[in-house]
A and B are shown apart, each in its own frame.
Chain A
Amino acid sequence: MPFREGPLGDLKVPLTWTAAVALIVAVVIAVAFLLADRRETLQQQAYGVTRQTVDTVSKPVSGVIAAPGRWTGLGVDFVSSYFFTASENRKLKAELREMRGYRDMYLAEVDKNQSYRSLLGLRTDPPIPMVAARVVADTRGPFANTRLADSGSEKGVMIGNPVMNERGLVGRVVGVARGASRVLLLTDIASRTPVMVDRTNARAILTGDGGPNPKLEYLRGVDPIKEGDRVVTSGDGGVVPRGLPVGAAVKGLDGRWRVVLFADDAAIDYVRILLFKDFAQLADQKALLTRSLPPVTTEDPDVSILGPVATTPKPPAQAGAAPTAAGATPAAQATTTPATAQTTAKPPATTPPAAKPPAAATSPSAAPKPAGSKPATTRPAAARPATAAPNGQPAGGEI
């Protein structure tokens, strides 16, 4: 039975009121979505399946739409290179002459750098693997600045990976789907990146605001920055590796320090995603799992709180006689705690014999006590003579 022929057929509801009710319901739903949004947390759970699906669908569609523009750009480049070959050749020759000078300087600096590294024993970070990706969509409004790249989880891309182009840092990955990843640009209002001024090492937080030049906030130090200073990532917090080029400092119209991004000088259609998650991946995991810890020495090179060197303290008599050695006495006593008693099992060859006269000879109070007075495991290491038994076992071990 049609609705108009039913008992409610004559019911007339004002259209404006029903539209207003529908509007209110829609507003409530929108507010609920906005309150439930956790985009600013930049976590995998916050990204959600819906966004992943939209990215997966958008990638081929946007890729097809972006293709004519890319082809046009390549065609224009080809034609312009054909017509401007002679002038470009002259320019390249001039650049080559200049670069030869830089090359010689570079080789000399590399040599010097290697010498310094070997002298200082400096350990540099290993290279970070990266994935090339093509940008298929680019949003640049005031409330969202993101790009959609065509490499995703199938290539090992993870949330948090930094993204660069050939000139500098672009942003970082905030969403990953199969075949696509969403890159939050440095200019986005939710973007916060720890950076430093290359010249002064002054730290700051690069804060996006939807405009082309993000702000430098929480800038610390006295006169930390000046116009044109190079800004790089600081690596603080482990979000991005240290030293990635970001941009040059400029004073904004609002009086704040801002950054002109190096990445804006390059083409926007290709990026490199650094497969960097945190600093733990840069370290040698086998080396981290090793059980032999290096000795930690105090002011007195003979005293250690961990290594076997520390097992023999200064004789108490000397500590009492010389005021300068008094400070070492508590540390020396600390080494005689039961926790370090196990170090008595170490071969005595590791302890310098000359520096450790028998404690019993200098202080009777520190002489070995009878076996029945205290368990052997709680005996201070200083109670045993430094002259070990010939078989390598500690002299006091049998007590």
Chain B
Amino acid sequence: MGGARPLHPGLWLGVPALLCVLATVVFAAPIRVWGLQLPEPVFAMVPAFAWALIRPSILAPFALLALGLFLDMFWGGPTGLWGLSLLVAYATALAGRSMVTGQSQPVMWAWFAGVTAIAMAGGFLFSMLDSLAMPSLLAVFWQFLVTTLLFPFAHRLIDRFEDADVRFR
């Protein structure tokens, strides 16, 4: 009977969001090994991509907005910057949902990289408008690169919940 119940939003929205918050806090630890610091990937890109592919939802955009606001507060950036960037990524993934669903893993990885690039470009633009200065393209590229490496987590999330709700089979 367990499979017949509708999927609780806490499972596919709440838990991944909490894991993103935890990972972000862990990776903000002031650790430097041989002069190198930890990378700073945008973990929230994983749900932004996966939630759009799992299924359209009313709650997901607001969950992403909350995640983005947390990132802005915790990282000390302009309020709304990451909220808006993540929503742009979510909108892109939602618009291309029919093309992405069912594709092989490398193709989906390419899509994830593309969506991440759009989110970073949005962040670059919004940051430029907000601070009236141009962020370093190299720094943006490094963050894009380490964020793209998170695709296996997005793939796992999609695999786990894409067919989990009996109402959407």
Contacts and interface: CB of A to CB of B under 8 A. Distances in A.
A144 B30 contact: no
Given A16-B56, A62-B25, A30 B134 contact: no
Interface stretch (A50-58, A227-235, A329-337, A386-394): A50-58
A189 B133 contact: yes
10 contacts: A34-B83, A34-B84, A34-B126, A54-B70, A54-B74, A135-B30, A143-B123, A143-B127, A143-B135, A211-B136
A23 B76 contact: no
B23 to A, nearest CB: 11
Contact of A190 (B58, B80, B131, B140): B131
Contacts of B62: 22, 26
Interface in A250-288: 267-269
A290 B134 CA distance: 49
Contact of B79 (A34, A61, A268): A34
B141 to A, nearest CB: 9
Q: Which of A22, A35, A147, A174 has the most CB of B within 10 A?
A: A22
Nearest to A58: B74
B85 to A, nearest CB: 9
Given A19-B56, A34-B80, A39-B77, A29 B28 contact: no
A304 interface: no
Interface of B: 25-26, 28-32, 37, 40, 42, 55-62, 64-65, 68-70, 72-84, 87-88, 90-91, 94, 123-124, 126-127, 130-136, 138-140, 142-143
Contact of B73 (A32, A34, A50, A268): A50
Contacts of A15: 55-57
Interface in A177-212: 182, 184, 188-190, 207, 209-212
Contacts of B68: 30
Given A15-B56, A146-B75, A37 B25 contact: no
Given A34-B84, A209-B136, A65 B29 contact: yes
Interface string A86-127: 000000000000000000000000000000000000000000
Q: Which of A20, A33, A61, A188 has the most CB of B within 10 A?
A: A33
A33 B30 CA distance: 29
Given A23-B61, A26-B62, A26-B64, A141 B143 contact: yes
B79 A33 contact: yes
Nearest to A35: B80
Contacts of A137: 25, 28-30, 74
Contacts of A50: 73
Nearest to B73: A54
A139 interface: yes
B58 A19 contact: yes
- Nearest 9 interchain pairs by C-beta: A33-B80, A146-B76, A34-B80, A211-B136, A144-B77, A19-B56, A142-B139, A26-B61, A30-B83
Given A39-B79, A142-B143, A209-B133, A65 B26 contact: yes
B81 A19 contact: no
B65 A36 contact: no
A148 B30 CA distance: 10
A62 B81 CA distance: 22
A339 B132 CA distance: 51
B81 A34 contact: yes
A300 interface: no
Contact of B76 (A20, A184, A268): A184
A192 to B, nearest CB: 9
A209 B135 contact: yes
A355 interface: no
A27 interface: yes
A209 B58 contact: no
A319 B44 CA distance: 84
B79 A36 contact: yes
A142 B131 contact: no
Contacts of A27: 61, 84, 87-88, 91
